[in-house]
Amino acid sequence: MYTIRKATINDVETIRQIADQTWWVTYGPILDHEQIAFMLSEIYSADKISDQIKNNGQTYLLLLEGEQPVAFAAYSPREENPDVYKLHKLYCLPATQGKGYGKILINEVAKKTIEAGKNTLELNVNRYNNAKSFYNKMGFKIAYIQDIPIGPYWMNDYIMRKEL
């Protein structure tokens, strides 16, 4: 049994904990330890997540298994192209992977995108991340390749899109 709800400021630490538990497992085989630590501190600082939630930069959804938060997604219209919505983050605790929660959250974000009158959902995925095949199964196609600097590191991503 699961429920989905919009995250609030009170959920910032929960989001950070899910990210921390997920990132090491997901990116450990493909990124250096130092890069993972840097990116977690950069992308998932309490201040950054709080600001995104408070100022409507991103909408965070929490998926709860019973009463326990086990996954989250964050999305928003793209600043440079508000006709496209971007799925910024999607992470499920490793112990829950394979239960369909990622699919459920993507479908919920797609529903919110359509409700906003938009029909394109986009995401970034590391070119070496196994999640790429999951996104393919969910109907996302590679639109282009992008290398994005983050501090002294690079995010080597595919930009994938799905028409809704």
Quick one: pLDDT at residue 82?
84
The most distant pair of C-alpha atoms in the chain lies apart, rounded to whole Å, by 42
Rounded Cα distance, 131 and 140, in Å: 11
Average pLDDT over residues 85-114: 97
Give the CATH number of the domain where residue 16 resides: 3.40.630.30
* Domain total in the chain: 1
Q: Of 36, 34, 16, which is closest to residue 26 (Cα–Cα)?
A: 36
One-letter-per-residue 3-state SS of 24-50: HHHHCCCCCHHHHHHHHHHHCCHHHHH
Q: What is the pLDDT of residues 118-142, one digit of tens each?
A: 999 999 999 999 999 999 999 999 9
Q: Quick one: tokens of 40?
A: 């977690």
Q: What is the pLDDT of residues 66-83, one digit of tens each?
A: 999 999 999 999 988 889
Average pLDDT over residues 99-103: 97
Q: Which domain holds residue 117?
A: 2-163
Quick one: pLDDT at residue 79?
85
Q: Quick one: tokens of 126?
A: 């590391």
Q: Tally the C-alpha atoms within 13 A of residue 73's C-alpha that lie toward its C-beta.
A: 21
Q: What is the pLDDT of residues 24-71, one digit of tens each?
A: 999 999 999 999 999 999 999 999 999 999 997 899 999 999 999 999
